[in-house]
Structure 1
């Protein structure tokens, strides 16, 4: 990804994404180590510090999203093997592949279908 794209996404995160999403963070010893941001049932972002991959934190964040919305959708770059592996293990399935003009990369749209109720009881 270009420096220009990353700089624009940093600006978009503060100006667009955070004010318009429901966001949960994971703190370890008072330090944020990960977060998930939802726009309805769309996973807009899920990020973990690399030292915390494989420790169940990402799954816990996704479980929170799924408990609130049931079915979920997400877009992930095809080149993001870590993200794709995580979504596959969680149960997301391929919906479509498209070209992401700003980065010149292929983008995958994935869907998680909750079994049973379309939205779990709270």
Structure 2
């Protein structure tokens, strides 16, 4: 009898201060993998900014499976300021669930992704994001691509009874 792999349930919940160590760890591992072209990525000053600015200022959401944090979504209004999935959880629907969560909250969502992060660019293309411009990031000197995912419109009609 063949075995069937069971998908783990992905729970998305608001970030809490007690999540800091786990999300900083998953962020560090994810960005080192995604941005090998950025010197010092995932540590030092960039980690300090994550802790002291982004985890405080953004509307942060944590994805977890089996009680462990495996993803972090940081929203600045309808802009995805950060989407990070632990390397061991990539390809399991965590990123997709976090993008869909952002879209459920805001409809149209935007983001910027480094041109050199080809894996993330493919993912965002598959998720329906459309390129809308490019700029050079002042901090790193690398090109950022600005993307937008239009709100999904439904064709259902509601009948009042």
Matches within 5 A, 1:1-122: 1-3=38-40, 6-116=43-153
CA 1:4–1:115: 2 relative to 1, 3 Å: closer
The worse-fitting range, judged by mean Cα deviation, of 26-35 and 54-63 is 26-35
SS at match of 1:97: strand
Shift of 1:21: 1.2
Shift of 1:83: 0.8
Q: What value does the CA root-mean-square deviation take over the aligned residues?
A: 1.8
SS at match of 1:91: coil
Gaps of 5+ in 1: 118-122
Structure-2 separation of matches of 1:116 and 1:32: 31
Equivalences, count? 117
- Structure (1/2) with the larger strand percentage: 1
Cα distance per residue 1:73-94 (max 9 Å; x no partner): 1010000011101110000000
Structure 1 or 2, whichever has the larger Rg, is 2
The worse-fitting range, judged by mean Cα deviation, of 7-16 and 81-90 is 7-16
CA 1:28–1:4: 2 relative to 1, 3 Å: closer
Residues 46 and 58, structure 1, Cα contact 8 Å, conserved in 2: yes
Structure-2 separation of matches of 1:91 and 1:4: 27
